[in-house]
Structure 1
Amino acid sequence: MPSHRKPRTRMTSSGPAVGVTTAALASVGLFAQGADAAPVVPGQRPSIEEVQKKVDDLYRQADLATQKYDEAKEATATQRATVDGLLDQVAAGTAKLNETRRIIGGYAAAQYRDGGVSPTMTLLFSHDPQAFFDQRRLMGRLSDEQQRTLTTFEAERAAGAKKRAEASRGLAALTTSQQTLRAGKQEVQAKLTAARTLLSTLTAQEKARLAALEQKKQDDAKRRAAELAARQEAAARQAAAAHPKPAPPAGHAPSAPSTPPAPSTPPAPTSKAAEALAFARAQLGKPYVWGATGPASYDCSGLTQAAWKAAGVDLPRTTWDQVKTGSRVATADLEPGDLVFFYDDISHVGMYIGNGMMIHAPHSGAYVREESIYYMPIYGSVRPG
């Protein structure tokens, strides 16, 4: 390790989770509803519907906090690389400056041996050698080589000061990003802990009721997915009818009729989309871990980024940046491989696989799975490529 570099303390994700009791949850408004919902009476247990809404909201907030964490992590990595590069440049500049200083010292030593250090050399070693340039009368007492050396010395010292200032600003920005990273980590942990704690307060009967509500939500989402698939199939048939294949010329045996597509068959993906889909399917069953990009676990945008990278397409890290890549696609025109984004804050993403379904990494405690795109409110979709 270079002498100017000091080992930095590594940031780990194994910090203690934020503990929250049921009483504390109530005190911070975990059971509170939005402005348009009925107020919760203090001491009264929320309904199962309220619990489901609150748990879903906490997971969504955790998704949002995860994207902030991912963004801060990217910024931290970029700033650390910038600072490391600046420190390397400062070290190299310092070495060059010291070498030039050594040469000037040699001039001074030679003058001393010849009868003492001249005022010129005194100026050379002064705090502000630039003062030397302001005294043109003394410049004539230096040789051309000495003048060039002095000019080099002053340029190197100015460049070194500039690089040190840049490094100082970079270190300040890095410190800010690290603080943001730590705050984001704590925010995610708090949201997830709150959701787990809320669920732990339910009785067995309440958990069964919650599971039934979740199943109803899944069934409704699947029904809407089937409706989308039917509409897409009908549109494909209309397009085929509007552009029928020409009849074979007379005297030629007709070719074998093409096999009609099976009902609800999605359009064939492009080669890159097929590769991305194959990768995503291979991750089914792996756990969601916030901030993870594989290969053992993923968060939502980490999965889509890794899948398209396997197809040779580089996507940004966060949902907020991924939604800006490629071309926008209407829900009715979705094709396998397209990215579907959810919620107004664009805090979640999944990969469309056809028939109104997607592969995504849902939330903490869940696994990469197939699910209807209508399970969450859709923000919009894009087609990478």
Structure 2
Amino acid sequence: MAAHRKSRHRSAGGHRARTAAAIALAGAATATAFDGTGHAEPEPTPAQVKATVDKLYQEAEVATEKYNGAKEKADAAQRRLTTLQDEAARKAEDLNSAREALGSFAAAQYRRGSLPPALHLALSDDPDRYLDGASFAERAGDRRSAAVARVREQLREIEQLRGAARIELAALTSRRAELKRHKKTITGKLDTARRLLSRLTAEERARLAGESPGTGRASRAGTTGRHRLAAPGSPVAAPDSRAAAAVSYAYSKLGSPYVWGATGPDAFDCSGLVQAAYRSAGVSLPRTTYAQIGAGRRVTRSELLPGDLVFFYSGVSHVGIYVGNGQMVHAPNPSAPVRVAPIDEMPFAGATRVV
């Protein structure tokens, strides 16, 4: 028993020693943390925040163009579905009218009953007149057969329309799910960017806003000689009146906010601004950057003229309207409104002249 008690005493002492050591280590770690010599995650510098936010904005813009493309297809599917439903409804009305006419004829035949043609001829007081009537009845029978055939054809057409409508509805449902996914991606990246920016001081945010792609030198547009060269009336002429009108529209929207998915008239994303500018000139352009780059004749950077569309990044996820002298008007990102900027601020991917 004594040995047993001694063993228990050593065990308890060992436990107390380990507990004391753990408390001492915790205290040391706490003291180190308060002394500032721990290994806590360092706060990112403003330059690191800027790099991360720029990347988030670019990724959000890629998702925005995918959203725009999916929305364009969803809208087209909705229009086709509505057309099919309207056409099916019209044919259903015609079918109901034809069925009513056939039903009225069937009821009349039932009420009158019928006699064999030979007996009708035998009982007739005027055989010639009866034969004329029989000929009319035969023609009427042909018309009834044709009416029945039309009803059958209408039923077939209505079923085809309903089948096509079911396909369009499935496509629309799929597009809407795709829109939801892209929207979640966009809002998630933009929310992350906002949280990062909110950790900076107002002065740091203002400085970064002036340095972010398409915002720094552009924010001083009209105050430097370089930007005045790109203003309306530049000695670099647009190739035609439509391009000139598009450039003029883009200038009229300077200062408008960037809103993803927007096509104006008061807010824009990058491809929305381009589409709206050319729409004002009577030219219909596709909605997305991916489609807009194929909406005209490709030109090299050395051939650029005002009104040309200039595209950026390897994924062709950003677009602006060239205005001459190495400048463009574009909608940069949520931190910057529509403005003039040098085209060399982003990696150039190609250019198209709208024809």
Using the size of structure 1 for normalisation, the TM-score is 0.67
Residue 143 of structure 1: CA displacement?
A: 2.1
Residues in 1 aligned to 2:214 and 2:80: alpha-carbon distance in whole angstroms: 51
Higher mean Cα deviation, 92-101 or 142-151? Answer: 142-151
Query: Residue 310 of structure 1 aligns with which residue?
Result: 280
Residues in 2 aligned to 1:171 and 1:155: alpha-carbon distance in whole angstroms: 24
Query: Residue 292 of structure 1 aligns with which residue?
Result: 262
Between structures 1 and 2, the one with greater helix share: 2
Query: Residue 189 of structure 1 aligns with which residue?
Result: 187
Q: Which structure 1 segments of 5+ residues have no match?
A: 1-40, 117-139, 230-263
Specify which of 320, 330, 341 is matched with residue 311 of structure 2.
Answer: 341
User: 2:214–2:341: 8 Å Cα contact kept in structure 1?
Assistant: no
Specify which of 252, 255, 266 is matched with residue 282 of structure 1.
Answer: 252
Specify which of 122, 145, 148 is matched with residue 147 of structure 1.
Answer: 145
Residues in 1 aligned to 2:295 and 2:347: alpha-carbon distance in whole angstroms: 20
Query: Residue 57 of structure 1 aligns with which residue?
Result: 55
1:378 and 2:311 aligned: no
Residue 178 of structure 1: CA displacement?
A: 1.7
User: 1:218–1:375: 8 Å Cα contact kept in structure 2?
Assistant: no
Residues in 1 aligned to 2:213 and 2:97: alpha-carbon distance in whole angstroms: 74
Specify which of 71, 83, 86 is matched with residue 84 of structure 2.
Answer: 86
Please give the residue correspondences for 1:1-385 in structure 2 after superposition, counting only pairs within 5 Å. Answer: 43-115=41-113, 143-203=141-201, 207=205, 210=208, 214=212, 218=216, 265-267=235-237, 269-385=239-355
Greater radius of gyration (CA): 2
Q: In structure 2, give the amino acid aligned to 1:286.
A: S
Query: Residue by residue, what CA displacement relative to the aligned partner does 1:309-353 show, whole Å, maximum 9, x if unpaired?
Result: 222222111111110011111112211111110111111101111
Query: Residue 15 of structure 2 aligns with which residue?
Result: none
User: 2:215–2:341: 8 Å Cα contact kept in structure 1?
Assistant: no
Q: Which structure 2 segments of 5+ residues have no match?
A: 1-38, 115-137, 228-233
Q: In structure 2, give the amino acid aligned to 1:156.
A: Q
User: 2:329–2:339: 8 Å Cα contact kept in structure 1?
Assistant: yes
Residues in 2 aligned to 1:42 and 1:377: alpha-carbon distance in whole angstroms: 36
Query: Residue 10 of structure 1 aligns with which residue?
Result: none
Give the secondary structure class of the aligned counterpart of 1:64: helix
* 371 and 328 in structure 1: CA distance in 2 versus 1, 3 angstrom threshold: same
Residues in 2 aligned to 1:57 and 1:283: alpha-carbon distance in whole angstroms: 26
User: 2:259–2:334: 8 Å Cα contact kept in structure 1?
Assistant: yes
Residue 380 of structure 1: CA displacement?
A: 0.5
Residues in 2 aligned to 1:214 and 1:91: alpha-carbon distance in whole angstroms: 55
Residue 108 of structure 1: CA displacement?
A: 2.3
User: 1:293–1:299: 8 Å Cα contact kept in structure 2?
Assistant: yes
User: 1:358–1:373: 8 Å Cα contact kept in structure 2?
Assistant: yes
Q: In structure 1, give the amino acid aligned to 2:279.
A: K
Query: Residue by residue, what CA displacement relative to the aligned partner does 1:239-261 show, whole Å, maximum 9, x if unpaired?
Result: xxxxxxxxxxxxxxxxxxxxxxx
Percent identity, aligned pairs only, is 43
Give the secondary structure class of the aligned counterpart of 1:143: helix
Residues in 2 aligned to 1:208 and 1:321: alpha-carbon distance in whole angstroms: 35
* 311 and 95 in structure 1: CA distance in 2 versus 1, 3 angstrom threshold: same
Residues in 2 aligned to 1:211 and 1:67: alpha-carbon distance in whole angstroms: 23
Residues in 2 aligned to 1:271 and 1:172: alpha-carbon distance in whole angstroms: 43
Residue 49 of structure 1: CA displacement?
A: 3.3
* 205 and 100 in structure 1: CA distance in 2 versus 1, 3 angstrom threshold: closer
* 206 and 302 in structure 1: CA distance in 2 versus 1, 3 angstrom threshold: closer
* 365 and 48 in structure 1: CA distance in 2 versus 1, 3 angstrom threshold: closer
Residues in 1 aligned to 2:162 and 2:239: alpha-carbon distance in whole angstroms: 52
Residues in 2 aligned to 1:204 and 1:285: alpha-carbon distance in whole angstroms: 21
Residues in 1 aligned to 2:251 and 2:214: alpha-carbon distance in whole angstroms: 25
Residue 216 of structure 1: CA displacement?
A: 12
User: 2:66–2:182: 8 Å Cα contact kept in structure 1?
Assistant: yes
Give the secondary structure class of the aligned counterpart of 2:41: coil
User: 2:209–2:336: 8 Å Cα contact kept in structure 1?
Assistant: no
User: 2:85–2:165: 8 Å Cα contact kept in structure 1?
Assistant: yes
* Count of residues paired in the alignment: 282
User: 1:288–1:298: 8 Å Cα contact kept in structure 2?
Assistant: yes
Residues in 2 aligned to 1:307 and 1:215: alpha-carbon distance in whole angstroms: 22
Give the secondary structure class of the aligned counterpart of 1:358: strand
User: 1:73–1:181: 8 Å Cα contact kept in structure 2?
Assistant: yes
User: 1:48–1:209: 8 Å Cα contact kept in structure 2?
Assistant: no
Residue 209 of structure 1: CA displacement?
A: 7.2
